[in-house]
Amino acid sequence: MIRSPQLPSAANFLRERPTRRKVHFHNVRPLELQGDIVNQLAPASRFDAEPSVNNHFAWIRTRLALESTYLAWIRTAISLIGFGFTIVQFFQRMQGMKVPGLPTMRPERPRDLGLTLIAAGVGALVVSSWQYFAKIKYLNSKPFESIAQDQAAKPYQTTAFISAMVLIVIGIAAFVSVFFRFM
């Protein structure tokens, strides 16, 4: 008969565990009372962006992630605006066709759905553009001036921002067109 090694029981395991010592911090003074050395070592801002290759590439990765997120918002807004306009056009043409067995829908329902989708697309563009503008300004601010590559670049001069502004104008034109044409 083969015997397996004895496993410790739960009671033995708990008994054999080392006990933790309690540490008391009554001898530690606050930072402001410890002298000038600590105050000299504390950074002036939340963080230091020292000019190094790693920090520069981290800044570039952050900037590219911001651009990628903004372009995803633009793509979503294009889909919402296009789908809203398409719904209005499709159901406007379906109004003239009578299909036996299907109930007739109210003529304003497709228009209202299309207007809602177009407004959601324009709203998404406005909010995402505002956030993008604020984040680009932050990435080009004073804490990052030593590692930022395009300190002089303005947020509103990027291609993504310009195309978003054009799409906002197109979305507003689509909204006005649908609103006044299909009243």
Span 116-148, pLDDT tens digits: 999 999 999 999 999 998 888 888 877 777 777
**Listed ranges 22-26, 27-31, 55-59, 102-106; the one with the highest mean pLDDT:** 55-59
Are the C-beta atoms of 37 and 106 separated by less than 8 Å? no
User: Distance between CA atoms of 77 and 177, rounded to whole angstroms?
Assistant: 18
Nearest to 160 by CA among 180, 131, 139: 131
Residue 82 has what pLDDT?
A: 93
Residue 145 has what pLDDT?
A: 76
Residue 38 has what pLDDT?
A: 47
Span 2-14, pLDDT tens digits: 555 555 555 555 5
User: Distance between CA atoms of 121 and 115, rounded to whole angstroms?
Assistant: 10
Q: What is the 3-state secondary structure (H, E, C) of 147-178?
A: CCCCCCCCHHHCHHHHHHHHHHHHHHHHHHHH
- Lowest mean per-residue pLDDT among 44-53, 78-87, 127-136: 44-53
Residue 18 has what pLDDT?
A: 55
Residue 15 has what pLDDT?
A: 57
User: Distance between CA atoms of 129 and 156, rounded to whole angstroms?
Assistant: 9
Q: What is the CA radius of gyration of the chain?
A: 31
| Domain parsing of the chain, residue ranges | 53-181
Nearest to 175 by CA among 140, 104, 126, 138: 126
Note if the pTM is more than 0.95: no
